[in-house]
A = this chain, B = another copy of it.
Amino acid sequence: MSYFDVASSAPLHPVARQALHASLDEGWADPARLYREGRRARLLLDAAREAAAEAIGCRPDELTFTTSGTRAVHTGIAGALAGRHRVGRHLIVSAVEHSSVLHSAESHRRAGGTVSEVPVLRTGAVSPGAYAETLRPDTALACLQSANHEVGTRQPVAEVAEACRAAGVPLLVDAAQSLAWGPVEGGWSLLTGSAHKWGGPAGVGLLAVRKGVRYAPQGPADERESGRAPGFENIPAVVAAAASLRAVRAEADAESVRLRELTDRIRARVPELVPDVEVVGDPVTRLPHLLTFSCLYVDGETLLHELDREGFSVSSGSSCTSSTLTPSHVLTAMGVLSEGNVRVSLPLGTPAEEVERFLAVLPRAVAAVREKLGAPAGAAATVSPSGAPDALVVDALGKRCPIPVIELAKVITEVPLGGTVRVLSDDEAARLDIPAWCEMRGQEYAGTEPAAQGTAYLIRRVTL
């Protein structure tokens, strides 16, 4: 069994486990109390803060332990926005931030604030110039992840931080995906992290706020964690988080080289082994352990089940794996194919043989899904060549990803060169996958038209 989804959550690192066990005996008391059990708990908490601050590259008194990375993001954004409310209520985020950042932005918008979403290139990275142009005199806070959680692309944090510094705007960096590999470079103002992403326990997030950054904690507060994170401190987990961060950092140099070779190999081999695949994300400026690809004519959820049966745990940004039946906002912002999407993120120490086995299994799994989907699609499609070549219509209403694209692919041969086919679809994924299919197949995507039901997608045949 191979767990290849460390970007969702990493198995507990052995050092985290040891530290957790050891500190359960010493770290359960209230660190605010003056008696010996309280003093011992306080010592553990202080030592953990020192260690984590050093790993992040901040002062211990700039670092707050929260109860999750999500909570660190929510807390940090709210506090920074409130600290600068006199400057304005404009918030900047990239279009590919983690949902915790986007949820905070949505909450800010509901409360009357304004939000700008900086678009990304097809690699998933923001352009530092485009980011800088979004800065305004009323910008209270800018947010940028250190690296993307779905495609692994590293963001140009140092350049964006420099632009923010020049504009006098604090930059919050969500470093949840990259902290295992090293501190975040550049002049960030606030930084967030999440322990269970690097092999620490669940229940621990990090929020660093640089001295001098205007910050006003929101909501009810108490005296714990400098008034920035109310509630009893979870000291055993905090100790385990700090210890495991140091431990993974000690392995980071060697493992980043080794895992990068493995992910480079997957990136290179998958398109050779599986037809009609798009590997997405920046091929170079990326996290060493993470890669993502999408497979045409494949249902992501079914593929995940096939791979799970074969002993591989991966995740997907396809619409069929989301509760809202919309494709991942990251893939959408990048404008890449979302159907049959697979994210592979390797844990530290993944043996090369597991990767080879994955490469052996994947083509079979994809072929099996495609075979399953191939038959019903034809029967379900209603092709109506009613006179003029322009009037060819594929009615894919009520069909979910990847069926609309499969039906389009089947009918394209019937379209004369220069002619157009309309695909009627009410599936959100079609909006992303039909243009992506055109790009991959060399056909021309001619936009959408309103339809009585759903949307009509226009495709012009320009390639034989």
Contact = CB atoms under 8 A, between A and B. Distances in A.
Contacts of A1: 36
A341 interface: no
A55 interface: no
Interface in A211-237: 219-223, 230-237
A232 B35 contact: no
A71 interface: yes
Interface in A21-57: 21, 24-25, 28-30, 33-38
Given A8-B33, A100-B222, A67 B71 contact: yes
Contacts of A313: 29, 33, 35-38
A179 to B, nearest CB: 15
A62 interface: no
A28 B11 contact: yes
B29 A231 contact: no
A315 interface: yes
Interface string A294-330: 0000000100110110001111000001010000000
A336 interface: no
Nearest to A35: B313
Interface string A1-23: 10101001111100001001100
A231 B103 contact: no
A247 to B, nearest CB: 16
Nearest to A39: B308
Nearest to A108: B220
B70 A68 contact: no
Interface string A197-216: 00001110100000000000
Given A33-B315, A202-B233, A74 B219 contact: yes
A340 interface: no
A194 interface: yes
Given A30-B8, A33-B315, A35-B304, A202 B232 contact: yes
A421 to B, nearest CB: 34
Number of copies: 2
A8 B33 CA distance: 9
Given A33-B313, A202-B237, A321-B34, A230 B70 contact: yes
B202 A74 contact: no
A196 B232 contact: yes
A103 B231 CA distance: 12
A28 B8 contact: no
B28 A5 contact: no
Contacts of A99: 222
A170 interface: no
Interface string A234-264: 1111000000000000000000000000000
Contacts of A235: 202
Interface string A59-86: 0000000011111001000100000000
A127 interface: no
A114 interface: no
A286 B161 CA distance: 57
B8 A308 contact: no
A194 B234 CA distance: 12
Nearest to A11: B28
A229 to B, nearest CB: 10
Contact of A9 (B232, B305, B314): B232
6 contacts: A11-B29, A28-B196, A33-B315, A67-B231, A103-B222, A196-B232
Given A28-B201, A35-B304, A35-B312, 12 more contacts: A5-B29, A12-B24, A29-B313, A33-B313, A34-B301, A67-B71, A69-B231, A103-B222, A201-B234, A201-B236, A205-B231, A219-B219
Closest 7 CB pairs of A and B: A68-B231, A67-B67, A35-B313, A203-B234, A103-B220, A70-B231, A202-B234
